Amino acid sequence: MRRRKTLLRMISIQRVLVRHGLDDIITATHFLRPLRFLFYLFPKAKDATEPLGKRIRLALIELGPIFVKFGQAVSTRRDLLPPDIADELAMLQDQVPPFPANEAIAILDKAYGRPVGEIFSRFDKEPFAAASIAQVHTAALQDGTEVIVKLLRPGVRQLIDQDLDVMYAIAGLADKYWDTGKRLRPLEVVAEYEKTIIDELDLAREGANTAQLKRNFEGSELLYVPDVYWDYCRPEVLVQERIYGTQISDMDALRKAGVNIQVLAENGVEIFFTQVFRHNFFHADMHPGNIFVLIDDPEKPKYAAVDFGIVGTLSPMDQQYLAGNFLAFFDRDYHRIAKLHIDSGWVPPETRIDELESAVRSVCEPIFNKPLSEISFAQVMIRLFETARRFNMEIQPQLILLQKTLFNIEGLGRELYPQLDLWKTAHPILRQWMADQMGGRAALKRIKEDLPQIRDALRDLPGVVRYLSEQIANDKLHFDVRAPELDDIRKQLKAQQRQRYFLATGATAFVSGVLVLTLGSLAWPGWVLIAAGAAAAVAGRPRA
């Protein structure tokens, strides 16, 4: 039954593309070619004379949320698209057709268990913005606080589940029959995307993401995150502070206000790298519809972000490898990049490091020290993917959100300030992060975090040593070892039992003294413990 629904959905997708005059997409898609005979069963395009960009936009809207999100992501890449198509796709960021106001009110009445008029002093029926997953209305709380009310689209979960089935079906075929399918790990990629898109359907989770980002940037001059009004939030309803700012895509308004565009662009890069490396919690849906600029002080513009349904995190190991790769790239250390790829397991261990180094150099060297206006990361990524294919590099599904975010950041930066020196802006941030992670302060922080476990281990150590010594001395702990010296060793262990007590006690006192000196406010107890530990160690030293 499920397979039949998936096949019907695929035919439905083809029908929509044909109806909007996008037949070429089908003929260019290898998987859909066997279904070309269905062209003759479907009505032709309503009006093939409509601009191509408009036809693509309308087709994506009709196909549903997942396709709209694809259009949103692509819309930021004006370096890859003709201007007319980019302009049309940009409309997908917040100009998707809304669902009726009476449905919105019915959702709220059901969510709160009472009429919407009892919750808000004003609820504006005309949507403020409409996107693929949800739409937003403006409103006011009973005390007059201006808010936005975000509501999930009715039936959106069913549509997404249906399209995920299609994606899994295509990914399964790719994994089974496509030569490079194993390396690209399509099923894992779809699974990673499924987690992301399903999380976005829980507006309570989005509220929690918003609150976390607000804490991360508390007091920051770079980014403002709106307040969440938890008393009014539900899984299908999010109520938060209304932001009054200029949309980042409105370049005319920003220039008219005298905004320092260079500072704005550099701040955007700093925000991105701060989120990814310092906070390890980044906004992963940074298309222009979600980014505003507060211009109270045009020389010090401040970002304001909304829509935190999609956020990303990285494992500490991925953070380390990525930061190392970025820094090695900034330093033109291509040997280091190749080594990091092998050490991380992203390429097979038998890869020749000199060959990978040469391949990476040929891709990266031509773009170094160029302004953003002369670089296309998309083109670089394509060449890197070609290099990756040669070395059997596997796609890392956990990094897809980060790659998508970087893709959007580049698109925004290109629009804002094409002369942006990305390397100059990002380099000191990464240097500082690496210093924080590897330096003495980071080591002390880790010791402090592990102090309870260290304390418990040290407290238990004498007992463990005593138990093992008694077991060995009483011949209760047996080793499957056959050697003439074993009897002598047993005799020596009994004589050494007293020495072990001293050594264990000495070690405990010595380590405790070091910790007290490192973390405590008074020095003398630490020195006393170190002296006692040294004395115990001398008393327990092996006898000649």
Catalytic residues: 285
Query: Mapping DSSP to helix (H, G, I), strand (E, B) and coil, where does residue 502 land?
Result: helix
CA distance 442 to 215: 22
- Region of 258 (left: φ > 0; alpha: ψ -120 to 50; beta: rest) is left
CA distance 544 to 535: 18
Other beta carbons within 10 angstroms of residue 103's beta carbon come to 14
Q: What is the DSSP string of 245-299?
A: -EETT-HHHHHHTT--HHHHHHHHHHHHHIIIIIIS-EE----GGGEEEE-SSTT
Q: Which two tokens stand for residue 191?
A: 């699974």
Cα 498 versus chain centre, distance: 55
CA distance 482 to 486: 7
Angle between helices 261-273 and 422-438 (to 10 degrees): 30
Angle between helices 83-90 and 65-75 (to 10 degrees): 130
CA distance 102 to 436: 54
Cα dihedral 199, 204, 210, 215 in deg (nearest 10): -120
Residue among 53, 142, 126, 121 at smallest CA distance from 92: 53
The values of phi and psi at residue 230, to 5°, are -65, -30
Q: Which run of H or of E encompasses 139?
A: strand 134-141
Query: Mapping DSSP to helix (H, G, I), strand (E, B) and coil, where does residue 234 land?
Result: strand
Does the CA dihedral 345-350-353-359 come out positive or negative?
negative
Q: Which two tokens stand for residue 389?
A: 């294919």
CA distance 248 to 72: 15
CA distance 171 to 178: 10
CA distance 270 to 430: 10
Q: What is the DSSP string of 190-218?
A: HHHHHHHHHHTT-HHHHHHHHHHHHHHTT
The values of phi and psi at residue 135, to 5°, are -135, 160
